[in-house]
Each structure stands twice: as C-alpha cells, then as structure tokens.
Amino acid sequence: MDVFELSSKRFTTKHYDPSRKISPDDMGKLKEILRLTPSSVNSQPWHFIIGSSDKAKKLIRPAIMDFNWPRTDDCSHFVVLCIKEDLDESHLNAVTAQENADGRFPNEQIKEEGDSKRKWYVSMKRERGQLRSWATHQVYIAMASLLYGAASLGIQSTAIEGYNPSKLDAILSLREKGLRSVAIVTLGYGALDDSNASRKKSRLPAETLFTELD
C-alpha cells in the first residue's frame, strides 16, 4: 500500500483487541523505520521508550489521562517519544563519527565542515532558546513515520498527547537520562467494535487549505 492509499485508509484507533500482539519481526521493522527517520541536519535528537508488558502498562498508567486508558491498557505496544534535553558535544560527535564510519565524507576537510556546520546550527538554536522546540519538531516527523509505518504493516495506532508529561518523565526517570517525553504512540490491532474504524475520515476541503502562487 503506498502513502497515498495509507493516508486515505489510516485512522486513529480508539479500541484495541488486547489479545493480539505485534510480532517481534514487525516491531523490528517499526524500530528501523523510527531509526531511519530524517531530521534537520541529521541531528537525531530523540530516544524511544518501548513497553508492552502488563507491568510496563501499569507503570505509565498514573501519567495517562483517564480518557486515554483504553488505548494504553489494551494496546500491544506503546512508544514514548522523547527529545534529548540538550544536544551536547558528545551527541554531536557521535553523529559525525557515525557519518564518517558510514562513508559519507569524501575527505577530512568535508568532515570537519559538516561537523562545524551542525555544531553552529545547534548552538544557534540553543542561544535562541529554541533547542527543545526544534528537537520536538523532529520527533513529530518520527511520530508520523511510525503512524504511517504501522499502517503499512497492517498495524493500528493512536497518537496520544493527552497525558501528564512531568509525571511520566518522573515515572520513567527521564531527567536523569537527559530526556523529556513529548508524545506517546500506542500500537496494536483494533477491536472488532472499534467505533472509529467504520467512520468516514473527515477533513476540511482542499479549497480552504491551499494557496497556489502565480
């Protein structure tokens, strides 16, 4: 199914079938899709926390708004999408070292230039107080990759912003790891009575959404 079809057919799942689990093979593909997500200056300012056991679901439950419990209780897996609180020297050096190991630099000079451009860009974002908002934007690209990636594997999903970030971050000790959560995605297979599965997708008409320049 291509992205055009996916975007027509994908829907937000309200009720999961708790008995159906995503296979390790499919979870491996979803992790690879997350890993390969593009980001500004290849900054990869993210970390993903994955849970699927009853224990993990109970652990995060106190941070989830009660109206979202049907998703986090009954999904197969959940992914907490996090930004790195700071993109420090060691993270940026690791990105350059990886690019170097992957053969992206024809010579040392190009490597040095790439490395300093990225560091300049990141410090500019930091100085303007935009580092975390910028990192969050990149994580939303990863979220979309995950939603469409799941749909392409026949897996249903729900993007969840309705939770208490500081509570969740405390439960998962994210500050100690230099992380902040920005959203959760639940994944699994829809229950037969999922009310949203049969409802028509609704969007504003194209004529209100696009302006074509001469």
**If binding means CB under 8 A, how many residues of this protein chain bind its own copies?**
75
Instruction: Identify which of 210, 189, 148, 188 has the alpha carbon closest to the alpha carbon of residue 9.
Output: 148
- Cβ proximity of 77 and 188 under 8 Å: yes
According to CB under 8 A, which one of 19, 32, 113, 128 is a site residue for its own copies? 32
Q: Is 10 in the site for its own copies (CB under 8 A)?
A: yes
According to CB under 8 A, which one of 8, 19, 23, 166 is a site residue for its own copies? 8
Alpha helical stretches, state H, 20-130: 24-35, 54-60, 69-74, 89-101, 108-127
Cα(105)–Cα(20) distance, rounded to whole angstroms?
Answer: 45
Q: Is 161 in the site for its own copies (CB under 8 A)?
A: yes
Annotate each residue in 79-98 with x if it binds its own copies (CB under 8 A) or - if it does not, as one string: ---------------xx--x
Pick out residues in 51-80 that bind its own copies (CB under 8 A). 51, 53, 55-56, 59
Pick out residues in 167-206 that bind its own copies (CB under 8 A). 172, 182-183, 199-206
- Kindly indicate which of the ranges 6-14, 16-24, 68-76, 184-192 contains the residues binding its own copies, using the contact rule CB under 8 A: 6-14
Pick out residues in 114-143 that bind its own copies (CB under 8 A). 133-134, 136-138, 140-141, 143
- Cβ proximity of 1 and 9 under 8 Å: yes
- Kindly indicate which of the ranges 16-24, 68-76, 101-109, 184-192 contains the residues binding its own copies, using the contact rule CB under 8 A: 101-109
Cα(34)–Cα(29) distance, rounded to whole angstroms?
Answer: 9
Q: Is 103 in the site for its own copies (CB under 8 A)?
A: yes
- Cβ proximity of 173 and 82 under 8 Å: no
Cα(3)–Cα(49) distance, rounded to whole angstroms?
Answer: 26
